């Protein structure tokens, strides 16, 4: 089974308003995005709100265009482009937060997007907990996740939090266990077959 198919199937098996920690390797990154945004979100008629603190939203948008994934229902909250002083021109589907340390503003922008697009249920992707952990200490990050995830749950939104296995620490794992309903790991079947 491909990573794209695997993630779509695993997410589809979860009840609405689930909060999921998605543990993946860096080599699975774009396959995971495709599985969530193209297969899972399309199938379930979801609006996607994608928080990126790992790479600029424009890079993800470029990749989505290559993969021919339509952007109509995908909106970005980008908290890395401004701090990187990258290109001033912004995509119309991208909202910038000045810095990944402005965690409250991440919540506010998602709230704003939910108000702007209330027609469909939402899938909120946080990419990634590891990059947010570079800029924030565990205490404030745990507090943020606790409030954020519970708020999204109350809106009936799916939450998927990326955790890159190569950069995971015990603190991050514990944090995710507390706030998430499920932890999904990708590629175990594929790895087992390869071995």
Q: Which residues bind other proteins (CB under 8 A)?
A: 98-99, 101-105, 107-109, 111-112, 115-116, 136-137, 139-144, 147, 151
64 versus 175: smaller Cβ distance to other proteins = 175
Kind and range of the H or E run holding 161:
strand 158-164
User: Measured from the CB of residue 137, what is the shortest distance to other proteins in angstroms?
Assistant: 6
85 versus 192: smaller Cβ distance to other proteins = 85
User: Measured from the CB of residue 151, what is the shortest distance to other proteins in angstroms?
Assistant: 8
User: Measured from the CB of residue 170, what is the shortest distance to other proteins in angstroms?
Assistant: 19
6 versus 47: smaller Cβ distance to other proteins = 47
Q: Which of 192, 141, 182 is nearest to 21 (CA)?
A: 182
CA gap 135, 81 in Å, rounded: 14
User: Measured from the CB of residue 99, what is the shortest distance to other proteins in angstroms?
Assistant: 6
| Sign of torsion over alpha carbons 100, 111, 115, 124 | positive
38 versus 78: smaller Cβ distance to other proteins = 78
Q: Could you tell me if 27 and 188 are in contact, meaning their C-beta atoms sit under 8 angstroms apart?
A: no
User: Measured from the CB of residue 78, what is the shortest distance to other proteins in angstroms?
Assistant: 16
76 versus 144: smaller Cβ distance to other proteins = 144
Residue with tokens 């396959």: 31
Extract the tokens encoding 34. Answer: 């495709």
**H helix intervals, 85-128:** 103-116
Extract the tokens encoding 31. Answer: 């396959």
């Amino acid at each position: 089974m491909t990573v794209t198919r695997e993630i779509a199937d695993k997410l589809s098996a979860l009840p609405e308003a689930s909060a999921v920690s998605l543990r993946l390797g860096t080599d699975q990154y774009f396959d995971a995005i495709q599985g969530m945004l193209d297969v899972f979100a399309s199938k379930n008629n979801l609006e996607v709100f994608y928080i990126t603190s790992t790479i600029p939203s424009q890079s993800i948008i470029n990749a989505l265009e290559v993969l021919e994934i339509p952007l109509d229902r995908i909106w970005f909250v980008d908290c890395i482009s401004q701090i990187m002083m990258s290109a001033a021109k912004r995509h119309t589907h991208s909202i910038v937060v000045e810095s990944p340390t402005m965690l409250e503003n991440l919540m506010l922008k998602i709230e704003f997007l939910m108000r702007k697009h209330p027609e469909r249920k939402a899938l909120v992707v946080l990419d990634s907990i590891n990059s947010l952990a570079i800029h924030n200490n565990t205490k404030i990050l745990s507090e943020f996740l606790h409030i954020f995830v519970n708020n999204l749950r109350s809106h009936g939104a799916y939450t998927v939090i990326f955790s890159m296995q190569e950069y995971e620490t015990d603190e991050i794992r514990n944090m995710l266990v507390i706030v998430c309903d499920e932890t999904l790991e990708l590629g175990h079947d594929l790895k087992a077959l390869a071995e």
